[in-house]
Structure 1
């Protein structure tokens, strides 16, 4: 795996556009493989969640270095708004429904967004504390 990480890092310095496309393609293939596996096995967990979890484990274990996916992930995050355009157009098509149930839909969106933000904040805090604890242990060991 370290050879793959080194090859991707080298190519990202020499050809950043090619590296970005390759990284995005690799993430899409990873997602698709887990999605196909989840569907084939009839698992109750979506393939996208399995793909995200397995990628997180690979990153935490050091099998994949974060720089191997950084350009592609940064591009996807920078252009995330584009992924919501179809949803906005769907709302426009169903405007009478939005007028009828809009306040309830808006409440659900606000509450679920708040829940995701709180869960993300707690997870980031937990990972940050774990990281600091590991750094302190390494410092004591040396």
Structure 2
């Protein structure tokens, strides 16, 4: 099992490279969405909704042993897959590593170019939100 964000992202890129076409990649994303660590119903609140997403996406973050643990859910199956990919990359990591992480792997798997403009904006909003959580928790650590 990979530990650091870069290794996890490389793993994700390799996984997506196994699929020849985008239909297969979408199916893979849907599968990833099904394995998403689900957010507790009590966190499905307005405060945890990611703004800028066409569909509803809730993200909750909590700190355990100086690492951020993310849980999430979405009412749209593809969006759930997108947030699953991001959470797999960033969850259980130190806030500083999340803040410093680049998201080049998203381009490498070709995700951005295969999303509608509204979904692509949602993706950017999701990344921004996960990093904002990291900044908030990093501040608490200092």
Q: Tell me the TM-score normalised to structure 2 length.
A: 0.34
Greater strand fraction, Structure 1 or Structure 2: 2
Structure having the higher Rg: 1
Greater helix fraction, Structure 1 or Structure 2: 1
Ranked by relative contact order (alpha carbons within 8 Å, sequence separation 6 or more), the top structure is 2
